[in-house]
Chain A
Amino acid sequence: MPSPTLAIARHELRTLSRSRGALAAAGTTLLLLLASALASLDLAAQAAESRARQQAEAERQWQAQPDRHPHRVIHFGTFVFQPLGPLAAIDPGITAHTGHSLFLEGHRQNSANFAEARQSSVLLRFGLPTPAFVLQALAPLLLVFLAFGSVAAERERGTLALLRAQGVPGRTLLAGKALAHGGVALALLLPLALAILLAAGGEAGALARGALMLPAYGAWLLAWSLGAILASALLPRARDALLTLLGAWILLVVVAPRLAPLAAEALHPAPSRLAAELAVAADLAKVGDPHDPNDPNFGPFRARVLAQHGVTDVEALPVNWGGLVSMEGERLQGEVFRRHMDAAQARERAQAATLDGAAWLAPALALRRLSMALAGTDLPGHQAFVRAAEEHRYAMVQALNALHVHKIRRQDDRAQRVGREHWLAMPAFHHAPPGPDWPALLPAAGALLLWLLLPLALLPLAGRRLDREARA
Chain B
Amino acid sequence: MTSLATPLPPARGYFRQELRLALRGRAVAAVLALAAALTLLSLANGLALVARQERAIAEARDGQADYLSAEAAKYGAAGSAGTAGYATWHLTWDPPGPLAFVAPGQRELRPTVLRVRLLGLQAQLYESEPVNPELALAGRFDFAFVATTLLPLLLLALLHDLVSREREAGRLRLLASLPGTGPGLWARRAAVPLGLLLAAVLLPFLAVALWAGAPLGGVLGIAAAVALYLAFWAGLALAVAALGRGSAANASLLLGLYVLLLLVLPAAANALVTRAVPAGQGVALALAQRQAVHEGWDLPKEETFRRFLREHPEWADTPPVTGRFHWKWYFAMQHAGDMAVAGEVAAYRSALLRRQALADRAGWLLPPVGVQALLHRAVGTDVDAQLAYQERVQAHHTALRRFWYPYLFEERPFTAADFARVPAYRPAPPPTRPAAGLWLAQALAALAALLAAAAALRRVDPSGGR
A residues whose Cβ falls under 8 Å from a Cβ of B = 21, 25, 28, 32, 39-40, 42-43, 46, 50, 54, 57-58, 61, 66, 68, 72, 75-77, 79, 81, 93-94, 97-99, 101, 103, 111-129, 133, 137-138, 141, 145, 148-149, 238-239, 242-243, 246, 250, 254-255, 257-259, 261-262, 264-265, 270, 272-278, 344, 347-348, 351-352, 355, 368, 378-379, 382, 414-415
- Give A289 Cβ to nearest chain B Cβ, in Å: 10
- Cβ contacts under 8 Å, B376 to chain A: 122
Instruction: Tell me whether B131 and A97 are in contact (CB under 8 A).
Output: yes
What are 16 inter-chain pairs, A to B, with CB distance below 8 A?
A: A39-B268, A43-B271, A46-B278, A76-B294, A97-B131, A98-B133, A111-B127, A118-B109, A121-B382, A123-B270, A126-B270, A254-B149, A258-B139, A261-B135, A264-B135, A275-B56
| Inter-chain contact B252/A99, CB cutoff 8 Å | no
Chain A residues near B144: list those with CB within 8 A.
125
The one of B145, B267, B279, B358 in contact with A258, judged by C-beta atoms closer than 8 angstroms, is: B145
Contact (Cβ within 8 A) B56 A272: yes
| A121 and B297 alpha carbons, distance in the complex (Å) | 39
Q: Which of A39, A273, A348, A415 contacts B132 (CB 8 A)?
A: A348
B339 nearest CB across to chain A (Å)? 19
B355 touching A120, Cβ below 8 Å: yes
Q: Is the CB of B145 within 8 A of A114?
A: no
Chain B residues with CB below 8 A from A275, complex form: 56, 59
Cβ contact within 8 Å between A141 and B259: yes
A319 to chain B, nearest CB (A): 23
CB distance from A453 to the nearest CB of B (A): 26
A122 with B373: CB separation less than 8 A: yes
Residues of A within 8 A of B252 (CB): 21, 25, 145, 242
A114 to B361 CA separation, bound complex (whole angstroms): 24
| Alpha-carbon distance between A324 and B290 when the two chains are bound, in angstroms | 26
Point out the residue from B115, B137, B284, B362 that lies within 8 Å of A277, measured CB to CB: B115
Q: Is the interface of B mostly helix, strand, loop or mixed?
A: helix
Contact A76 B290 (CB under 8 A): yes
Chain A residue at smallest Cβ distance from B351: A119
Answer yes or no: B282 CB below 8 A from chain A CBs: yes
Query: What are the residues of chain A within 8 A of B106 when measuring CB–CB?
Result: 122, 124
How many residues of chain B are within 8 Å of chain A by beta carbon?
A: 90
CB-based contact B115/A101 at 8 Å: no
**Contact pattern, B 112-155, Cβ under 8 Å of A = 1, otherwise 0:** 11010000000100111111111111111100110001100100
* Chain B CB within 10 A, most for which of A123, A258, A379, A414: A123
Q: Is the CB of A123 within 8 A of B132?
A: no
Of chain B, the residue at the smallest CB distance from A72 is: B297
Shortest distance between the CB of A413 and any CB in chain B (Å): 11
Chain B residues, Cβ within 8 Å of A121: 273, 355-356, 358-360, 373, 382-383
Q: Are A112 and B128 in contact (CB under 8 A)?
A: yes
- Min CB distance, B231 to chain A, in Å? 21
**Which B residues touch A264, using CB under 8 A?**
132, 135
Task: Confirm or deny: B287 has a beta carbon within 8 angstroms of a beta carbon on chain A.
Answer: yes
Contacts of B80 in A (CB 8 A): none
In the bound complex, CA of A116 to CA of B136 (Å): 13
The 4 residue pairs across chains A and B that have the minimum distance between CB atoms: A126-B266, A121-B359, A97-B133, A94-B133
Within B198-255, the residues touching A (CB, 8 Å) are 247-249, 251-252, 255
When A43-B271, A272-B113, A273-B129 are in contact, do A246 and B153 touch as well, CB less than 8 Å? yes
Chain B residues near A113 (CB, 8 Å)? 126-128, 282, 286
Whole-angstrom CA separation of A40 from B275 in the bound complex: 10
Whether A115 contacts B128 by the Cβ 8 Å rule is yes
**Which B positions have Cβ atoms within 8 angstroms of A?**
45, 52, 56, 59-60, 63, 105-106, 109-113, 115, 123, 126-141, 144-145, 149-150, 153, 157, 161, 247-249, 251-252, 255-256, 259, 262-264, 266-271, 273-275, 278-280, 282-284, 286-287, 290-291, 294, 297-298, 324-325, 351-352, 355-356, 358-360, 362-363, 368-369, 372-373, 376, 382-383, 386
A39 in complex: contacting residue of B128, B262, B271, CB < 8 Å: B271
Q: Are B145 and A125 in contact (CB under 8 A)?
A: yes
Q: Are A352 and B60 in contact (CB under 8 A)?
A: no
Question: In this complex, what residue of B is CB-closest to A378?
Answer: B134
CB atoms of B267 and A239 under 8 A apart: no
Known: A97-B133, A122-B372. A61 touches B287 (CB 8 A): yes
**Contact assessment for A119 and B287 in the assembled complex, using a CB-CB cutoff below 8 Å:** no
A265 touches B259 (CB 8 A): no
Other than the known A101-B286, A121-B383, what 8 A-B pairs have Cβ atoms closer than 8 Å?
A115-B109, A118-B386, A125-B105, A125-B145, A138-B259, A239-B251, A242-B252, A275-B56
Q: Are A117 and B63 in contact (CB under 8 A)?
A: no
Least distance between B290 CB and chain A CB atoms (Å)? 7
A252, B171: Cα distance in complex, Å: 36
Q: Which of chain B's residues have a CB closer than 8 A to the CB of A273?
A: 111, 113, 127, 129-130
Residues of B within 8 A of A68 (CB): 297-298
CA distance A77 to B368 in the complex (A): 45
B46 to chain A, nearest CB (A): 12
* Residue of A whose beta carbon sits closest to that of B41: A259
Partner of B134, one of A42, A77, A129, A351: A351
* Set B129, B256, B268: member contacting A25, Cβ < 8 A: B256
Contacts of A21 in B (CB 8 A): 249, 252
* Pairwise interchain contact B290-A103, C-beta atoms closer than 8 A: yes
A222 to B144, CA, bound (A): 33
Distance between Cα atoms of A273 and B259 in the complex (Å): 37
With a CB–CB cut-off of 8 A, which chain B residues contact A246?
Answer: 153, 157, 251, 255
